[in-house]
Amino acid sequence: MAAYRQVPETRGLITDLMREIAAVAAAQGIALESDVVGNSLAFMDKAGPSIKASMQLDVEARRQTELESLIGVIGRLGRERGVPTPVADMIYGCLLPADLLARAR
């Protein structure tokens, strides 16, 4: 995860994804703390440099991932609420082939 959080372009995507999640939550009437994105980034930054996300572990092991419940849901709920989720949709599209391959095994 360290490589993702340290590269400015990727960190920007992570930050934008978190903002999309916060916007979808707000559109659903879910109150989050005012600095949820900043606090989430700080939490992520404190994680060890070799930590891997569960979805990354699934992809490496060629197992079906939690793509639908972690990323796909953001786009679906965004569309239902009229909230644009371009980053979530792009990440979903990029990870979907690996997930479909794992499901086929």
User: For residue 4, is pLDDT > 80?
Assistant: no
Answer yes or no: is pLDDT of 104 > 70: yes
Task: Kindly list the domain boundaries of the chain, sorted by start residue.
Answer: 2-104
pLDDT of residue 56: 85
- pLDDT for position 2: 67
Contact 15, 35 (CB under 8 A): no
CATH 1.10.3720.10 fits 2-104, yes or no: no
The per-residue pLDDT for range 34-81, each reduced to its tens digit, is 999 999 999 988 888 788 888 888 888 888 889 999 999 999 999 999
Instruction: Show the DSSP H helices in 1-85 as ranges.
Output: 2-6, 8-27, 36-46, 54-60, 67, 73-81
Tell me the average pLDDT of the chain.
Answer: 91
**Nearest CA to 23 among 71, 77, 91, 95?**
77
Separation CA 27–CA 31 (nearest Å): 10
